[in-house]
Structure 1
Amino acid sequence: MSKLPPPSQKVATFAELPRLLTSAPHRLLFLAGAVTVLLSISWWAAELVWMRFGLAGWPQPSIPPVYAHGILIQYGMFPLFIFGFLLTVFPRWLNQPALPRSRYVPVAACVFSGYVLSNVGLLDLPWLLILGQLLMLSGYLIGWGTLASVLHASPSRDNHARSALLSLSLGVLGLGLFLAYLFGAPPACADLAIRLGTFGLLLPIFFTVTHRMLPFFSGNVAKDYVLRRPRWSLPMVWLLLLAHLMLDWSGVMGWLWLVDIPLALIFAWHALAWQPWKAMRPGLLAVLHLAYAWLPLAFILYSVQDVIYAETGHLMFFRAPLHALGIGYFGSMLVAMVTRVTQGHSGRPLQMGGVAWLCFGMLQLVCVVRIRAEFGGDVYLWLVVAAFGWLLAFLPWVLRSACVYLTPRVDGKPG
């Protein structure tokens, strides 16, 4: 096995930082995303403390806090990582040249600056919230157009690329609906925007990337691994997710079990088909399988909830399935995938490392605590504990990741 060159000790000067940060899409956008991981939950934690204990002088947003929480995490925090990943891998998936700085820097600038302005706008500055959302939408449109141009230029009509682009299309629609709400449209627009964020933007993209990359990574490492990437599952999942979205938004919750049970079965089938028992080494591969396990579990919870509601009319364990999905699957897969990309694209060994393991392990506890909050007791106290647990879990990981993005590759290669 060839040895890695000795790690570079060079630290970029202040003058060199702009060029270093813009040397690759993932470097700039992952750094921005790392900042939002802490910023999003810092505001939400303060809001929860205000709700539970009181916080003198804490300004309230001009919109319901739950709307702000749902929109900024789903359309601001996660998509910065998503754009960083897709703007890096789309050309590779489609055998096209890497994108120049002019195609991805505006995406990072608009989405991140819009996100920051939106967060400041939550401090009872509604005009700043609107401006921030307009900037975020501009970034989405630039990013969507860039990725669409790569897909259009390629003779290959890659199903994973098309699925990811369709998800971003629904993300554009969702942000547009939320802006309409900010300009006076009915709250139903905001409700649909939040649901689109979950079941039209994030879940399809996360599943699409998992569907493509998890068996590929496993097959490269595990012995006697049978690579399974069925063509039927992406379109089937898309149809069922859109049906879930419309039934939920329309209030026809008594029929949700018709789509959530098949989704649970499909996701569970993939969990077994991807043979995690063959892929528990190295740790950087194991965490991908462990993160994915939250997806079938989330839809098992959805299915149980649906059946109980259809039988009794009572909505049990209210947002537990949603947070098994959002913290368990999205959050854990974020740590697993971003750590892998960060290690590989910085010239470092493909290893988890102590900081990443600490973050991943603590995040599992945070998810359990957040789910526990839905089962009674002092609910807001549990929510406060979960929010601060998120911050404690991610702080070392964010700081370590930022150090990587702010320094050149250790192998001396560009990017």
Structure 2
Amino acid sequence: MMRDPQPRAVDLSTEPFPTLFAAPHRLMFFAGALAVLTSMSWWALQLAAWRFGWIGWPTPPISPVSAHAILTQYGMLPLFIFGFLLTVFPRWLNRPALSRAHYIPVAGAVFGGYLIANAGLLGWPWALSLGIEVMAAGYVATLLILGNVLRAAEQRPIHAWSCMVALTVGTAGLLMFLAYLFGASPVLMPIAIDLGTFGLLLPIYFTVCHRMIPFFSGNVAANYVVRRPAWSIPLVWALLLAHTFLELRGHQAWRWLADAPLAFVFAWHACAWQPWKSTHPGLLAVLHLSFAWLPIAFVLYAVQSAWLMFGHTAILGYAPLHIMTIGYFGSMLVAMVTRVTHGHSGRPLQMTAIPWLCFVLLQIVVVLRVRAEFGAHQLTWLLIAACGWLVAFLPWVLRSLWIYLMPRADGKPG
């Protein structure tokens, strides 16, 4: 029988950056912030090499588009997700906080593997494979750690189960990609990419929003009605599985059967969470604004699918996908991580100038990326959008890194 994870008293004063290791969110968010710039820097350089015909730019061992999808979905964004879950999962389940012996190895494996894999994109297949192996070890360790917390809990809310299922699906997707790298069927690549989007990221993002947005809003807004319908998480899971099945089977013309209900469910939540009562403070408003991108993305997914059903060719390209990934995932990343960072560093729960700048610029990046799907000069617009991401995030990343290295402003531990 495995023991419950117990926090251990450690003298942090002897370490070079003692506060960085004081809590899982500090270390994992620090790594995630660096990854935000790493992934998009490589992608911007790759786009520039295509656009300007650079001679000698190293060719990655796999399709650059696939590499971009895999390492952002399984490396960049999950660093923030793991940092969040390793912090809040025990709180959700009324269990003791996790110790450094739990979260430091996870951070080292996922971030270290991510960096090695990115180095592999410079033309070294062995490094890409090694990096994914190390990342996968971090995923498995996270499943075991959180699984033990869930097993020891007396109450197991649906939010915890949903996150565990998503992490399991994500681990399976990453292992499929690893198998592809070692010579397995090429069909595993699109499966891994779709599982990363619709089996890992979107379910966890929606689950966290389902729990946290009404909670944050109810703590601030007057006359607020907290709505967390028990039916919506299982329904979203079922519809996402249907979306993924239809996509992978090549039935995009029938995908509207899942996408239209998803658009309705997400729109219902966007309204049920009463954003008109949550316009202040800004740190709360941006959560609602970020979520608004999700129903828009699935309306466009449904339109694209219905258009195909009537015998037409696709007209929206990757616009729905990037409205979701940049608009929803990216904006919610800024909103949620800023809130957690401020709250857990003893700072006021306010949207200060740099987070606002990042958030506003990111909305422009969404428009630029959608523009790249239409008209001429696609590579130019893709490159502009990628550079726009870097411009938007650079000040936010530098500020966040500084906060994670500094003690709490209120003098409390953590």
The TM tier, using the shorter chain, reads: over 0.9
CA distance in 2 between partners of 1:130 and 1:15 (Å): 35
Q: Which residue of structure 1 lines up, in the alignment, with residue 204 of structure 2? A: 205
1:47 aligns with 2:41: no
Secondary structure, aligned partner of 2:372: helix
1:217 aligns with 2:183: no
CA shift in 2, pair 1:384/1:14, >3 Å: farther
What is the TM-score when the length of structure 2 is the normalising length?
0.96
Q: Which residue of structure 1 lines up, in the alignment, with residue 103 of structure 2? A: 104
Offset of residue 208 of structure 1 = 0.2
Q: Which residue of structure 1 lines up, in the alignment, with residue 242 of structure 2? A: 243
CA distance in 2 between partners of 1:266 and 1:168 (Å): 23
Is the 8 Å Cα contact of residues 216 and 284 (structure 2) preserved in structure 1? yes
Offset of residue 17 of structure 1 = 3.4
1:260 aligns with 2:259: yes
Offset of residue 214 of structure 1 = 0.2
CA distance in 1 between partners of 2:16 and 2:43 (Å): 31
Q: Which residue of structure 2 lines up, in the alignment, with residue 25 of structure 1? A: 24
Q: What are the within-5 Å matches in structure 2 for residues 229-240 of structure 1? A: 229-240=228-239
Q: What are the within-5 Å matches in structure 2 for residues 298-317 of structure 1? A: 298-317=297-316
Measured against aligned partners, the alpha-carbon deviations of 1:318-372 in whole angstroms (never above 9, x if no partner) come to 1000000000000000000000000010000001100000000000000111011
Q: Which residue of structure 1 lines up, in the alignment, with residue 377 of structure 2? A: 378
Letter in 2 for 1:321: P
Q: What are the within-5 Å matches in structure 2 for residues 12-91 of structure 1? A: 16-91=15-90
Decide which moves more: 246-255 or 67-76: 246-255
Offset of residue 288 of structure 1 = 0.1
Is the 8 Å Cα contact of residues 110 and 134 (structure 2) preserved in structure 1? yes
Decide which moves more: 250-259 or 335-344: 250-259
Measured against aligned partners, the alpha-carbon deviations of 1:42-76 in whole angstroms (never above 9, x if no partner) come to 00000000111122321010110011000000000
Secondary structure, aligned partner of 2:183: coil
Letter in 2 for 1:260: D
CA distance in 2 between partners of 1:184 and 1:19 (Å): 43
Decide which moves more: 76-85 or 368-377: 368-377
Q: Which residue of structure 2 lines up, in the alignment, with residue 133 of structure 1? A: 132
Letter in 1 for 2:327: G
Q: Which residue of structure 1 lines up, in the alignment, with residue 3 of structure 2? A: none
Q: Which residue of structure 1 lines up, in the alignment, with residue 333 of structure 2? A: 334
CA shift in 2, pair 1:149/1:18, >3 Å: farther
Is the 8 Å Cα contact of residues 118 and 130 (structure 1) preserved in structure 2? yes
Letter in 2 for 1:102: A
Secondary structure, aligned partner of 2:36: helix
Secondary structure, aligned partner of 2:94: coil
1:290 aligns with 2:289: yes
Identity, % of aligned pairs? Answer: 61
What runs of 5+ residues in structure 2 fail to find an aligned partner?
A: 1-11
Offset of residue 187 of structure 1 = 1.7
Is the 8 Å Cα contact of residues 43 and 386 (structure 2) preserved in structure 1? yes
Secondary structure, aligned partner of 1:56: coil
Offset of residue 20 of structure 1 = 1.9
CA distance in 1 between partners of 2:114 and 2:17 (Å): 20
Offset of residue 375 of structure 1 = 1.3
Letter in 1 for 2:285: A
CA distance in 2 between partners of 1:14 and 1:406 (Å): 13
What runs of 5+ residues in structure 1 fail to find an aligned partner?
A: 1-12
Q: Which residue of structure 2 lines up, in the alignment, with residue 320 of structure 1? A: 319
Is the 8 Å Cα contact of residues 17 and 406 (structure 1) preserved in structure 2? no
Letter in 2 for 1:151: L
Deviant stretches of 4+, over 4 Å: none
What is the TM-score when the length of structure 1 is the normalising length?
0.96
Offset of residue 252 of structure 1 = 1.1
CA distance in 2 between partners of 1:409 and 1:280 (Å): 27
CA distance in 2 between partners of 1:262 and 1:363 (Å): 27
1:360 aligns with 2:359: yes
Q: Which residue of structure 1 lines up, in the alignment, with residue 273 of structure 2? A: 274
Offset of residue 34 of structure 1 = 0.2
Offset of residue 18 of structure 1 = 4.4
Secondary structure, aligned partner of 2:310: helix
Q: Which residue of structure 2 lines up, in the alignment, with residue 5 of structure 1? A: none
Offset of residue 15 of structure 1 = 5.2
1:399 aligns with 2:404: no
CA distance in 1 between partners of 2:274 and 2:19 (Å): 39
Cα RMSD of the aligned pairs, angstroms, is: 1.0
1:148 aligns with 2:126: no
Offset of residue 22 of structure 1 = 1.3
CA distance in 1 between partners of 2:409 and 2:217 (Å): 26
Q: Which residue of structure 2 lines up, in the alignment, with residue 6 of structure 1? A: none
CA distance in 1 between partners of 2:224 and 2:208 (Å): 19
Offset of residue 144 of structure 1 = 1.0
CA distance in 1 between partners of 2:71 and 2:255 (Å): 26
Letter in 2 for 1:414: P
Is the 8 Å Cα contact of residues 137 and 176 (structure 1) preserved in structure 2? yes
Is the 8 Å Cα contact of residues 253 and 307 (structure 2) preserved in structure 1? no
Offset of residue 14 of structure 1 = 9.6
CA distance in 2 between partners of 1:369 and 1:17 (Å): 41
CA distance in 2 between partners of 1:344 and 1:23 (Å): 15
Q: Which residue of structure 2 lines up, in the alignment, with residue 171 of structure 1? A: 170
1:181 aligns with 2:180: yes
Q: Which residue of structure 2 lines up, in the alignment, with residue 4 of structure 1? A: none
Is the 8 Å Cα contact of residues 40 and 386 (structure 2) preserved in structure 1? yes
